[in-house]
Amino acid sequence: MNKLLGLIIDGKTINPPNSIKKTSDISLDSIIQVGVQLLFLTAILITLFYLAQGGIQWIVSGGDKQKIEQARLRLVYAIVGLIIIFGAFFLVNTVFGIFRVNFSK
């Protein structure tokens, strides 16, 4: 017997929308997909933090060539990291798309 949670107000039953996933609708594929998305989001946030840190380091360098070079390298590494993250994101989405198509046949 499959029961859905509903709400009763003044004797009128309010059922949840059909678009809400039930626990039986959650698959391993969706769990992996959410986990990968969280990893990518975390990596992007860390990279943006390093970009901001490099910019601030450049601003407060006071014209010191060594500090400016350190800030420039931090900015370059953060941008390269961001490019790698987006490349990995598109690669993972492509691989998941290929496997999803093959499993659905």
Alpha carbon distance 60, 67 (integer Å): 9
What are the backbone dihedrals phi and psi of residue 46, each rounded to the nearest 5 degrees, phi first?
-65, -40
Does the global pTM surpass 0.85? no
Whole-number pLDDT of residue 5: 62
Angle, vertex CA 95, rays to CA 85 and CA 46, nearest 5:
15
* Confidence check: pLDDT of 28 > 60: yes
At 32-67, the pLDDT tens digits run: 778 888 999 999 999 999 999 999 999 999 889 999
Tokens standing for 100?
């999803």
Whole-number pLDDT of residue 25: 61
Alpha carbon distance 30, 80 (integer Å): 29
